[in-house]
Structure 1
Amino acid sequence: MTSSTTPDSGITATGAPRPGGPGPLAGRTVSRIGYGAMQLERLRGDRGAALSLLRHAVEQGIDHIDTAQFYGDGFVNELIREALRPEDAVLVASKIGADPNHGGPIPIRPAQRPEELRASVEDNLSSLGLDRIPLVNLRRMDVPPGIPLGADQVVDLDDQLAEMTALRDAGKIGAIGLGNVTVEGLRRAAPAGIACVQNAYSLVARGDEELLGACAGAGIAWVPYFPLGGAFPGFPKVADEPAVISAAQSLGATPAQIGLAWLLHHAPNVLLIPGTADAAHLDANVAAGALSLDATTLAALDAVPSRSTDVALG
């Protein structure tokens, strides 16, 4: 699924403009607007539509796709394997730290132990049809939103990083990322070489500003999930903010596009992975990368208060 590194430019290997412009990730140059594949599971009954959506993403210049084995218990990975071609030069990032939770109240369960991390990498390699995953994010449970952990799932970060480093040394993974991590966790992990951080972060939930700044200073990509908030009950929603609605009306955009554009303007190391199962929605996400926010608009958006995302998912 990946080929040689494309030049540091705004054009992908397929000749399409990179949405949001180019940004560095795991030693590669990728589109700053990527694609989060989780919602492809909604198309389980229409495999053709799911494959077409992935091809459409590539045609729109997206060359950074975020996935996980626990998305549909391998179903989403299998779609990516089928849809992408080596010449697309798409960087596929996966994540570990959870496994499918068949029949449970939420679809995933913690899988934090080193042997579980290794097994999850092997499962991802098999379903993606790869010998090496370019980037694997270790999803910790250090910060909300998280899943309650049993005693057997409370694992020291150093033990997990030792396993991740061994997997990298063995050529199973290319780069290591972290998710749901604290400033202190990132400091401890730094010697392992961290390529990106994935924490819940949006215009209305900016509690990780110090961590974002630390990542920017260290050349670590910031890849926020829940970039528009509102994914679960109790989360604030970007699209509900009067300043966001006003900016959208002024620019002829949607509130969601304003929320994505603000993230791209806020810090140069931000890469986005909005997800959707709809081609028109994907096009709208791509178009957000071309929005220009002037100083007055940015000041109004920056003044939106940040709220807590201290929500448990189980």
Structure 2
Amino acid sequence: MSIQRTFKLGGDLEVNRLGYGAMRITGEGVWGPPKDREGALKVLKRAVEIGVNFIDTADSYGPYVSEELIAESLAPYQAGVVIATKGGLCRVGPNKWLPVGRPEYLEQEALMSMRRLKTDVIDLWQLHRIDPKVPVEESLKPIVKLQKTGKIKHIGLSEVTPAEIEQARKVADIVSVQNEYNIGQRKSEATLEYCEKNNIAFIPWFPVAAGKLAKEGGPLDTAAKQHNATVSQLSLAWLLHRSPVILPIPGTTSIEHLEENFKSLDLELSDAEWQSLEAAAK
């Protein structure tokens, strides 16, 4: 059975379900500029050339580096290209992430993201983490205000439970949720089911399986070889098959790997094969 290839984000932004995550086009520890700046710009351009029209970034990637590279390589944006960004994680060093949900901080960061991305409207702005010190309704107030003035089109969340989505929906229309999820890491199953019921996009970060499941000779590796595919391709194909609301955003700094990932859209397994992989993963 062939998969649904597109999804209407927020009901009006139709995107190809396989996007690109732009966290890795930064330095080590997601800090500072990339080692190969020209290479990063080429990957972004190539992504759009092969049909990727959903690119996900965050102000904290670098910080700021990823947004600036996206603007340098792609602005002014082609019609139909959707750029999503996030705010709410402050950076104090490599691999260090601090949730900050103060309304005035988030408002400033959203406006600065708009400037760095060289756009008049952020297609999708996502709260990167809920700050335990600030109720999510308070954090989202200025974002909803920016949405009403036309500076932000849609609002999303990241690393949340169904109860937290419900809480956020009291003040904002939530169109996407970004949680860690892959065939071997299923802790967000309840959140995915909530998103399915409410037609909310579910954007899995860390979409490619790792560990025992993906090792050489393991279930994913064996199935991938049977289909002349890679473990990455099979991991992404499983996500696309798992639910029509899932929008995987694999990241890479290699054009070859980017093109390889995109071919997972065409990878088809029988229902019985998917079921055997599911059983192996559990």
- TM-score by length of structure 2 reads 0.89
State the distance in 2 between where 1:303 and 1:46 align.
Answer: 41
Give the aligned partner of residue 228 of structure 1: 208
Match of 2:137 among 140, 158, 164: 158
Give the aligned partner of residue 13 of structure 2: 28
What's the CA shift for 1:188? 1.8
Code of the residue aligned with 1:280 in structure 2: it is E
Task: Please show how residues 1-314 of structure 1 align to structure 2 within 5 Å.
Answer: 21-26=5-10, 27-42=12-27, 44-84=34-74, 85-101=76-92, 104=93, 106-141=95-130, 154-191=133-170, 192-230=172-210, 236=211, 238-240=213-215, 242-305=218-281
**Cα pair 1:20 1:289 within 8 Å, conserved:** no
State the distance in 2 between where 1:181 and 1:304 align.
Answer: 27
Q: Which moved more, 1:162-171 or 1:125-134?
A: 162-171
Deviations 1:166-200 (A, max 9, x none): 22112221100010111111122234211100011
RMSD: 2.0
Q: Which runs of 5+ in 2 are unaligned?
A: 28-32
Q: Which moved more, 1:25-34 or 1:277-286?
A: 25-34
State the distance in 2 between where 1:282 and 1:74 align.
Answer: 22
Task: Show structure 1 runs of 4+ deviating over 6 A.
Answer: none
Give the aligned partner of residue 146 of structure 1: none
State the distance in 2 between where 1:118 and 1:166 align.
Answer: 9
- Structure with the higher strand share, 1 or 2: 2
What's the CA shift for 1:163? 2.6
State the distance in 2 between where 1:59 and 1:20 align.
Answer: 21
**Amino-acid identity (%):** 36
What's the CA shift for 1:216? 0.9
State the distance in 2 between where 1:39 and 1:302 align.
Answer: 29
What's the CA shift for 1:20? 7.3
Code of the residue aligned with 1:137 in structure 2: it is Q
CA change 1:49–1:88 in 2 (3 A) is: farther
Code of the residue aligned with 2:14 in structure 1: it is T
Code of the residue aligned with 1:195 in structure 2: it is V
Deviations 1:116-172 (A, max 9, x none): 21121122111111121010111225xxxxxxx7xxx61111212223212211222
What's the CA shift for 1:272? 1.0
Code of the residue aligned with 1:138 in structure 2: it is L
- TM-score by length of structure 1 reads 0.81
Q: Which moved more, 1:106-115 or 1:288-297?
A: 106-115
CA change 1:199–1:72 in 2 (3 A) is: same
State the distance in 2 between where 1:280 and 1:223 align.
Answer: 23
**Cα pair 1:33 1:273 within 8 Å, conserved:** yes
State the distance in 1 between where 2:179 and 2:161 align.
Answer: 9
Give the aligned partner of residue 30 of structure 2: none
Q: Secondary structure at the match of 1:41?
A: coil
Q: Which runs of 5+ in 1 are unaligned?
A: 1-18, 142-148, 231-235, 307-314
How many residue pairs get aligned? The number is 271
CA change 1:170–1:238 in 2 (3 A) is: farther
State the distance in 1 between where 2:168 and 2:43 align.
Answer: 36
State the distance in 2 between where 1:271 and 1:81 align.
Answer: 22
Deviations 1:236-292 (A, max 9, x none): 565238221121011011111111110000001111110000001101110111100
State the distance in 1 between where 2:166 and 2:133 align.
Answer: 19
What's the CA shift for 1:24? 1.6
